[in-house]
Amino acid sequence: MVATPLGNLGDLSLRAKDTLKNVDKILAEDTRTASRLLSALNLPPKSLESFFEHNESRKLSKVLNWLEQGLDLALISEAGTPLIADPGFPLVKKVRLAGFKVIPIPGPSAPIVALMGAGISCLPFTFLGFLPKKPEEIKKIFSLYAYPAQTLVFFERKNRVLTTLKLAHQVLGKREFCLARELTKIHEEFINGYLDDLSSLDETKLRGEFTVVIGPGLEVSKTPEQEVKQLILNLRSRYKVKELAKIISEQVQGWSTKEVYQLCLQLNQGPHRQN
């Protein structure tokens, strides 16, 4: 599994270059891109096999057959790290189950590069890959991650990015964002702003490929104490106090496990066992 440059060929590691030079076959998401990459690196032409989302499942048996013949194979995406919103997961799973060795050769990854340059808190972050096309489905995805304490990273197309940011604002509220475009390429750019003020963005001038970073919520709206108490009363018969406090603290906002634990004790109606 070989990570390849997002744009700047200088980002290819010596280990990755050596691997591509010595394997017997290269499985490539785009054989044309792979061919140009090998040529630009002055590497000898290789036997390239098309391997992308829509032919992945039917190519698995062929790949296993090559491995059984003792061939060394490399998998590369069109750019970046295989499996990270790119083909490869079923292949890795199947190859491992068949007893063959899988070796990741790390390198460029657009989500990580975007986080490095965005100037937005990185931890914790959730990578969403490519979002669905329908607005209601996008809003549903965002609603799953509406809790303020995490950063979201995803890929978006230039003709949809502004609409997607507006949908994000509807669901997530005021948050900082960064549009990381053309990463590691000549026209690399980081465009920062806030979801509640998109007036400066002109979609007709947004060009290239975007990795979008949306920061954690700027304000945490603390769950009212009465709601927390009601959760404790609803669940008190199922768990010990320590376990109950941990479970509830994960369901509410602005309450630590310790604070919920103290509230459980104050109610004096928790489970009989408090250990």
> Quick one: pLDDT band at residue 101, thresholds 50, 70, 90?
very high
Sheet hosting strand 25-28, strand order edge to edge: 47-50, 25-28, 73-76
pLDDT tens digits along 55-64: 988 999 999 9
Domain range 130-214, CATH class = alpha beta
Is the torsion defined by CA of 212, 216, 217, 223 positive or negative?
positive
Amino acid type, 117? G
Please give the DSSP secondary-structure letter assigned to residue 4: B
Q: Which of 76, 141, 110, 106 is nearest to 209 (CA)?
A: 110
Query: In this predicted model, what pLDDT tens digit does every residue of 42-58 receive, in sequence order?
Result: 998 889 999 998 898 89
DSSP code, position 215: P
- The first and second tokens of residue 12, run together, are 């290819």
Q: What is the mean pLDDT of residues 1-19?
A: 95
Of the candidates 85, 77, 89, 64, the one whose C-alpha atom is nearest the C-alpha of residue 31 is 77
- pLDDT, residue 268, reads 59
Asked if 15 contacts 105 with a C-beta cutoff of 8 angstroms, the reply is: yes
Rg (C-alpha) for the chain, rounded Å, is 24
CATH architecture group of domain 9-97: 3-Layer(aba) Sandwich (3.40)
The percentage of residues in the chain with a pLDDT greater than 70, rounded to a whole number, is: 95
Q: What is the pLDDT of residue 251?
A: 84
pLDDT tens digits, 218-238: 765 678 889 899 999 999 888
Give the DSSP letter string of 63-126: HHHHHHTT--EEEE-SSB-TTSSSS-HHHHHHHHHTT-----B----HHHHHHHHH-S--SSEE
3-state secondary structure of 22: helix
